[in-house]
Chain A
């Protein structure tokens, strides 16, 4: 099953979406364990588990998961850590952990001086405003940008949104990003 799930996640498009759902349902019984073993509320155990699944998906798709352990063991390790974090009440913002990690990953290869300039500017971003502007951007634009940020190729975006070609998807996506910028910068 591990191989099928991993292949589905790497294949992208609708295969990725199905593999994500399959991964989630395969080990959803961890939630019960979170309730029993860590005395978490069901809602918190669900959050810990779904965050663990999202984290595992990211590691698999960016190649960091090296299949040294089974997917179940790997996922359980992440879940255990998240439950412990919850117990220690360290995790307070559902967006914060991923945000720091992903942007740091993108800046990994950049020179130190340039990185610190960008990091300083990124830290000043108004995340709530950005998310709110994304929501008012229009259905297709929002969908295209979410698919892009989730790692889908322009070809996959074209298929999902019914654009004629990958090139059209790319042009539209860039236009959407520009529109988002105008909305975000507008007083």
Chain B
């Protein structure tokens, strides 16, 4: 038997008969608790949609800033041409300086890791599974224990992409670069819609920064841009800076 939410979803998805539809609407009128459940379903969907749109706008803002990096966020009111010319000249000079002086790959990689992998998302489910345990250990700074947890899962036959991703991240944080590369190569082999495996390999090479690593990382980043893969925008930015 369907639970309340499934029942409501079936109604709004137009998956019910005319008779069921009539009963559904009658229940709204006669059962205040049911009416509240329906209203909550619609409100929750709308609130989630609002957040999804805010996230989309943030993505758009990033794209916009990439297209026009030197543009100020707020326009200056009626600034004099001389001042504008001076700012433009200064910006050009600064861009030229940046262009002449490539950023260190390790620094870029480090910044990414600090921004994205300080902690990893843990679900609030009351039932803590093995992945959640591994993530919790990682977030508590117990990286070797977290890796052990993930590797036990891999050895016991869990070969999903998520586990390879997490194992790779922890291994990278532990600076075992060869092993991290192996996990990220395995991740890249999964046929996912959004697969960051190739990007993580480039990141690992940049972080390791041994002879030839930077060139290999650049080739991977170019591949990401060319094939429009996950993290394309970051890859583009790094290619400009490297």
Minimal Cβ-Cβ distance residue in B for A51: B57
Residues from chain A with Cβ under 8 Å of B74 in the complex? 41-43
Is B193 a contact partner of A139 (Cβ separation < 8 A)?
Answer: no
Chain B interface residue bracket vs A? 35 or more
Whether A140 contacts B5 by the Cβ 8 Å rule is no
Question: Which residues of A139-187 have CB atoms within 8 Å of chain B's CB atoms?
Answer: 139-142, 145-150, 156, 159-160, 162, 164, 174-175, 177-181, 184
CA separation between A94 and B54, bound complex, in Å?
9
Stretch at the interface among B28-36, B143-151, B177-185, B214-222: B28-36
B47 touches A134 (CB 8 A): yes
Residue ID in chain B nearest A44 by CB atoms: B74
Task: Assess the A98–B63 pair: CB atoms within 8 A.
Answer: no
Are the C-beta atoms of A28 and B67 separated by less than 8 Å? yes
Q: Which residue of B lies closest to A131 (CB)?
A: B47
Contacts of A160 in B (CB 8 A): 193-194
When each residue 115-143 of chain A gets 1 if its CB lies under 8 Å from chain B and 0 otherwise, what string results? 00110011001010011001111111110
The interface residues of chain A lying within 8 Å CB-to-CB of B25 are 110-111, 113-114
Q: Are A149 and B52 in contact (CB under 8 A)?
A: yes
**Distance (Å) between the CB of A161 and the closest chain B CB?**
9
- Report the number of A-B residue pairs with Cβ-Cβ less than 8 Å: 162
Residues of A within 8 A of B193 (CB): 13-14, 156, 159-160
Of the candidates B26, B43, B192, which one forms a contact with A130 in the assembled complex, judged by CB atoms under 8 Å apart? B43
**A18-26, A64-72, A73-81, A83-91: which lies at the interface:** A18-26
A57 to B205, CA, bound (A): 38
- Partner pick for B52 among A53, A106, A146, A159, CB 8 A cutoff: A146
User: At the interface, yes or no: A3 with Cβ under 8 Å from chain B?
Assistant: no
Please name the residue on chain A nearest to B50 by beta carbon.
A95
The answer on a CB contact under 8 Å between B45 and A121 is no
A14-B194, A106-B12, A159-B192 as given contacts; A138 in contact with B48, CB under 8 Å: no
Which B43-87 residues have C-beta < 8 A from chain A? 43-57, 59-61, 63-64, 67, 71-75
A18 engages B43 (CB within 8 Å): no
Given contacts A41-B75, A54-B56, A177-B5, contact A31 B64 (CB under 8 A): yes
Cβ-neighbour of A141 out of B124, B160, B228 (below 8 A): B124
Partner of B50, one of A18, A131, A136, A142: A131
A180 surroundings in chain B (CB, below 8 A): 44
Residues of chain A contacted by B59 (CB below 8 angstroms): 21
The one of A42, A118, A147, A149 in contact with B35, judged by C-beta atoms closer than 8 angstroms, is: A118
Contact of A35 among B42, B63, B75, B125 (CB under 8 A): B75
Complex Cα–Cα for A178 and B59 (A): 29
Q: Kindly provide the distance from the CB of B130 to the nearest chain A CB, expressed in whole angstroms.
A: 14
Asked if B40 is at the interface (CB within 8 A of a chain A CB), the reply is: yes
Is B121's CB under 8 angstroms from A139's CB? yes
The answer to whether B49 touches A138, judged by C-beta atoms less than 8 angstroms apart, is no
Contact present for B51 and A118 (CB under 8 Å): no
Q: Please tell me which one of the listed residues A50, A140, A148 contacts residue B48 in the complex, with CB atoms under 8 A apart.
A: A148
Cβ–Cβ < 8 Å partners of B123 in chain A: 138-141
Alpha-carbon distance between A41 and B97 when the two chains are bound, in angstroms: 30
Contacts of A113 in B (CB 8 A): 25, 29
The yes or no answer to B115 lying at the interface (CB within 8 A) is no
> Please, how many angstroms separate the alpha-carbon atoms of A138 and B131 in the complex?
14
Asked if B39 lies at the interface with its beta carbon under 8 angstroms from chain A, I say yes
Q: Which residues of A contact B35 (CB under 8 A)?
A: 117-118, 121
Residue of B nearest to A161 (CB): B162
A107 CB contacts on chain B under 8 angstroms: 42
Given A106-B45, A131-B47, 6 more pairs with CB closer than 8 A: A21-B59, A28-B63, A122-B46, A127-B43, A142-B51, A149-B52
22 A-B pairs with CB atoms under 8 Å apart are: A41-B75, A46-B61, A47-B57, A50-B57, A99-B46, A99-B50, A113-B25, A118-B35, A118-B38, A121-B35, A125-B43, A125-B47, A127-B46, A127-B47, A137-B124, A138-B124, A141-B123, A145-B44, A146-B49, A150-B48, A150-B49, A174-B5
